[in-house]
């Protein structure tokens, strides 16, 4: 009786090639990951997650800032990317919430100079509670600062300044006249529509700066101590933040 021939097992990994995923030029243009690929067409659109610390390797606090690079084009074994999204980690955002302070948020879509549409999440924490009118004034001023920035910057320039804290610093300097602020940050950006026109741009050296100036001794004394156990009302506020941001999400347009 003749033996049945064994079917040849094809090693799929041998057919794959490894691609070097590079960060956009706005983030240094250095390799951030290596990914396997069998077809360039199916690889375009893949997202690689990393942190700001992995890019800068300076401040351990940068571990709390997540970066999501999306493969935009492939040349040989090099995959070029665009920043699809960045966000604070959930734990970092939770650590910002303190008893006796107010939380002000602004979520809005903006157009950059090269016609990209970006959803920007801004968070502002105060040292003490503020009334509704002051919250409205701070939110309005924040919108003005971001709108002005967007009209001057391309997408790459904007996300660089947003992630590195430059825009948050501008908001802080403008809004601190209304009330004493503890933290200002761009907690999340998401690319809703890619740039549609080409604009000549110059990139600045990739270097992080504090999102808000270091507090003075007086400010430190006024700051409410962080408690070990998060109270129920604070838990509810954090959940409200996360719920609002989740509801605001929409699929990104190509």
- DSSP letter string, 159-176: HHHHHHTHHHHHHHHHHT
Is 125 part of a structural domain of the chain?
A: yes
Same domain, 160 and 224: yes
Q: Which residues of the chain have a pLDDT value below 70?
A: 1-15, 201-254
Same domain, 61 and 116: no
Write down the pTM of the prediction. Answer: 0.77
The total of structural domains in the chain comes to 2
Decide if 27 contacts 67 (C-beta within 8 A).
yes
Structure confidence at residue 59 (pLDDT) = 86
Decide if 115 contacts 98 (C-beta within 8 A).
no
Write down the mean pLDDT value for the chain.
Answer: 82
| Residue ranges making up the domain that contains 158 | 97-248
Instruction: Identify the CATH number of the domain in which residue 206 sits.
Output: 3.30.479.30
């Amino acid at each position: 009786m003749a033996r049945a021939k064994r079917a040849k097992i094809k090693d799929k990994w041998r057919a794959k090639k490894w691609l070097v995923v590079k960060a956009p030029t706005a983030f240094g243009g250095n390799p951030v990951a290596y990914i396997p690929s069998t077809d360039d067409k199916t690889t375009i659109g893949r997202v690689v997650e990393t942190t700001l610390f992995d890019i800068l390797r300076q401040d351990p606090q940068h571990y709390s800032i997540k970066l999501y690079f999306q493969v935009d084009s492939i040349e040989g074994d090099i995959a070029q990317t665009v920043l699809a999204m960045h966000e604070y980690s959930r734990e970092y955002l939770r650590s910002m919430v303190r008893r006796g302070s107010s939380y002000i948020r602004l979520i809005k879509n903006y157009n950059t100079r090269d016609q990209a549409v970006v959803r920007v999440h801004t968070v502002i924490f105060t040292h003490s509670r503020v009334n509704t009118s002051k919250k409205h004034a701070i939110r309005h001023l924040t919108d003005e600062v971001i709108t002005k920035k967007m009209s001057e910057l391309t997408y790459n320039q904007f996300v660089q300044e947003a992630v590195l804290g430059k825009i948050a610093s501008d908001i802080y300097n403008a809004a601190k006249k209304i009330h004493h602020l503890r933290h200002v940050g761009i907690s999340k950006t998401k690319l809703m529509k890619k740039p549609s026109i080409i604009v000549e741009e110059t990139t600045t050296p990739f270097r992080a700066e504090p999102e808000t100036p270091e507090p003075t001794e007086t400010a430190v004394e006024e700051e409410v101590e962080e408690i070990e156990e998060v109270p129920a009302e604070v838990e509810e506020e954090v959940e409200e933040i996360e719920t609002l941001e989740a509801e605001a999400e929409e699929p990104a347009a190509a």
